[in-house]
Amino acid sequence: MSRKVRLTQTILGVIALTLVATLFLSGMAGGRSRDVPASPNTPGPATPGPLDDDERLPGVPVVPVAQHDTFPAEPDRNEDRRPGYEPSGEPDVDLPDGLGGIEDYAAQVVDWEFCEGGAGAQCATVLAPLDWEAPEGDAVEIAVRRVTDGDSSNGPLFVNPGGPGYGGQSMAERLAGRWPDYDTVGWDPRGTGQSTSVVCGTFEETDAFMNLDGSPDDDAEDRALREGSAAFADQCRDASGDLLDHITTIDVVRDLDLLRHLLGAEKLNYVGVSYGTYVGAMYAELFPDTSGRLVLDAAVDITGEDEIPQAAGFELALRNFTSWCADSDLCGLGDDRTAIEQDIAGFLSGLDADPVAVGDRTLTQTLAATGIAIYLYEDEQAYRSLAEVLARARAGDGEALLRSADLMNGRGPGSYDTIAYAFPAMVCADATDEGVDDVRDAWRDTFDDAPIMAPNLGMSYTCQTWTAGSAPQIRITAAGAPPILVVGTTGDSATPYEQAVSMADQLESGVLLTLEGAGHGAVTGDNACIADAVGRYLLEGEAPDDGTTCS
């Protein structure tokens, strides 16, 4: 996801939904503890101590949001959005009563309990203001999970798996113990998971939206895509109400600073992947005084230029797959890379007029491309599975490929996961667009960079017809923050490596660590060189030399 986003790809398909493929295919240390009433290893109520006289209130940026440098506003910024849309009826999202001022939120008791089925993990729910600029109003609930390790002497290490729209609690359990004596803490950002979450239409209405032809061939199909996107936006506003106006990344990091305070950390120590890099970078921009050791892996674009279309990353990953396939006895798609790519392109484009029946559903061009994309988040470990799924689909059995698309889109039996709704809502809250008339041309401009993936993944009018505006487009430099470790993988499919280079360059204290290889994200993998460099940084505060490369 980038700051100046032209959402020309399928909105729920493939924009930086990190770690979903893994699910499918498989500060400074020693911050003081305010958790005096209960040790970190024992659930129970924990009341934060009073703030020092010179300590700022949690969630209040060092420099007010409105005073940060921003990218120049486009003259046609968000020109077709509909913030004046009047919802029908009362929203389904029930916002809890607020606690009062920010001082009241900072003094709330965190009541830890063992998580249900969490194998010793501890869970809690805290409140944050719905509107940080008017905290006396309603609140939102934030679901938090921590997994203790050792003596917990390194304090909390917050982790975020990306998205946006993806909850982070399960990531805490997956990464627990990787960095000794840190309590690994994951939270569901507002709008997601078990926190106060975005709600949109019914299962049938969401199916209708997902089944839209994202690659229109004529004006009638283009009009159907526009109208379907607007209908989806209306459904989200009807069900979610005012929540849609307060789910920007700025809101998320203000919540995160409140969590840091409530968990007793003087500094925020943090690992974020994909969209999680934007969360970490924005935190360092707004709260450099409490930024600790921040690891930002698989960086999104923060330059405001968005020069590399994301589809190009998937095209690169597809070429890696077809090269492997041509040379491998484990792939039955052929032994010539160019011919394999032509066959895949022909198969996908053929689905436009002749989709494959899968029970009472159909595998469409857009859904098939989305199903392929989920495998491209991974490296060669996923290639054999992709080859088998493609072979079956080309033979007329599209069930496995449709199921892959469903996982990418958050579709389960009879319901959609919150990612299906939180993802577009959060993307549109953060990003600007240039109106509906810009979409088709911008989409076609990506065809040269991604001749297979871009035409078939399609485009979207979701943000262009959204019922809310977008956040200030802050130019993030994180002035005054300590060294920030930015990690990039040269063959990353979802967040091109060049974005890690530009993020490390734009952050005043950015340090670039590179993995030569494939896959989306490096820190959560098993590369020993990366693990050693990240471990020294998180445990000893020693950042690698800028430009260090692992292979």
- Rounded average pLDDT over 316-340: 95
- Rounded average pLDDT over 97-126: 93
- Rounded average pLDDT over 232-246: 98
For residue 51, the model assigns a pLDDT of 81
Q: How confident is the model at residue 55 (pLDDT cuts 50, 70, 90)?
A: confident
Enter the pTM of the model: 0.91
22 has pLDDT over 90: no
Q: How many CA atoms lie within 13 A of 518 on its CB side?
A: 19
Q: What does each C-alpha distance from 296 to 80, 159, 484, 522, 523 come to in angstroms? A: 34, 10, 8, 10, 9
| Residue spans per domain, the chain | 1-551
For residue 306, the model assigns a pLDDT of 65
Q: How confident is the model at residue 11 (pLDDT cuts 50, 70, 90)?
A: very low
For residue 38, the model assigns a pLDDT of 39
Q: How confident is the model at residue 308 (pLDDT cuts 50, 70, 90)?
A: confident
Residues 526, 532, 534, CA angle at the centre, nearest 5°? Answer: 90
41 has pLDDT over 60: yes
- Rounded average pLDDT over 376-389: 90
77 has pLDDT over 90: yes
Q: Considering only CA atoms, give the Rg of the chain.
A: 23
40 has pLDDT over 70: no
In three-state form (DSSP H/G/I as H, E/B as E, the rest C), the secondary structure along 140-190 is: EEEEEEEECCCCCCCCEEEEECCCCCCCCHHHHHHHCCCCCCCEEEEEECC
pLDDT digits (tens, 9 = 90+) for 482-509: 999 999 999 887 888 999 999 999 999 9
pLDDT digits (tens, 9 = 90+) for 139-189: 999 999 999 999 999 999 999 999 999 999 999 999 999 999 999 999 999
Choose which CATH entry (3.40.50.1820, 3.40.50.970, 3.40.640.10, 3.50.50.60) describes domain 1-551. 3.40.50.1820
The answer to whether 190 and 421 are in contact (CB under 8 A) is: no
Q: How many CA atoms lie within 13 A of 386 on its CB side?
A: 28
Q: What does each C-alpha distance from 217 to 14, 245, 445 come to in angstroms? A: 21, 34, 16
Beta strands in 298-419 (DSSP E): 356-358, 361-363, 411-412, 415-416
For residue 380, the model assigns a pLDDT of 81
Local structure of residue 464 (DSSP, 8 states): G
Coil/strand/helix, residue 232: helix
Whole-number Å distance between alpha carbons of 27 and 280 = 12
Whole-number Å distance between alpha carbons of 145 and 174 = 12
Q: Which residue has the higher pLDDT, 246 or 16?
A: 246
Average pLDDT of every residue of the chain: 91
Say what percent of the chain tops pLDDT 90: 82
15 has pLDDT over 70: no
14 has pLDDT over 50: no
